[in-house]
Amino acid sequence: MTNDHKVAPSILSADFANIQRDVEMINNSAADWFHVDIMDGHFVPNISFGFPVVKAVKKYATKPLDVHLMITDPDKYLKDFKDAGADHITVHYEACTHLNRTIHAIKDLGCVAGVALNPHTPVALLADIITDVDLVLIMSVNPGFGGQEFIENTYKKVKELKALANEYNPNLFIEIDGGVTTANAGKLIAAGANALVAGSFVFAAQDQTATIAALKSPLTP
């Protein structure tokens, strides 16, 4: 199995007293993207960072910022996140009344446009938007907090999404976020995923760089 999948460490799990150190660790690792979770305390029951932290990460990052907006009314803030340094902007299906318009607004900013699905949201709901998006993020835990247990139904959703992508958008990034480890990464890639987000699994590891390399290397299901 090839290792052409992307790995995106989630800086939500980084040490914010040493953010430059952790950003430079990712720069020097086999990782492809920085995953940046934005939470507003409304769409999800937690609050994370905003524009100043995105700007601080961007200042040192040498790889794209994969910004995941777990917020209500994301349209208000798309340009602000682009200006802060976002290279990818992913919004939640459940937070967007006019998803097609939101996706095209992200593209108009020159960003990779993504849509995220909560664990209970069926992949079939993306049928009318699949040709317009660059990335679909499948939440494999309930969004809002790190360190949760992986939801096994995720494999089925990845297979469904891969079938949809094969028919309508073969270049789609299929990204998985939540509970990703070297124990399930191979199975996720075999199901069709090609981008893996890992937070606490990376940052709680004794050797973070080696852990990223293990997620990036060829993996068996």
DSSP string of 47-77? B---HHHHHHHHHH--S-EEEEEESSSGGGG
Look up tokens 């960072």; give the residue.
Answer: 49
The CATH number of the domain holding residue 168 is 3.20.20.70
Determine whether 73 is an active site residue.
no
Cα–Cα nearest to 176, from 101, 117, 134, 100? 117
**Considering the domain boundaries, does residue 79 fall inside one?**
yes
CB 57 within 8 A of CB 20: no
| Domain-located, residue 145 | yes
Q: Is residue 15 part of a domain?
A: yes
Query: Catalytic one among 22, 32, 37, 134?
Result: 37
CB 31 within 8 A of CB 63: yes
pLDDT confidence of residue 149: 81
For residue 188, tell me if it sits in a domain.
yes
- Residue 3 is predicted with a pLDDT of 58
Q: How many domains does the chain have?
A: 1
In a domain, 62, yes or no: yes
- The helix (H) or strand (E) run that includes residue 198 is strand 195-198
Residue 66 among the catalytic residues: no
Q: How much is the pTM?
A: 0.95
> Is 1 inside a domain boundary?
no
Please identify which residue in the block is written with the tokens 């460490």. Answer: 9
Structural domain harbouring 19: 6-216
Q: Which residues of the chain have pLDDT under 50?
A: 1-2
Query: Is residue 114 assigned to a domain?
Result: yes
Condensed to tens digits (0 to 9), the pLDDT of residues 111-162 reads 999 999 999 999 999 999 999 999 999 999 988 666 668 999 999 999 999 9
User: Which secondary-structure segment (H or E) carries 96?
Assistant: none
221 occurs within a structural domain: no
Q: Which of 22, 40, 87, 177 does the annotation list as catalytic? A: 177
pLDDT of residue 47: 85
pLDDT score, position 145 = 64
With beta carbons less than 8 A apart as the criterion, state whether 142 and 118 touch.
Answer: yes
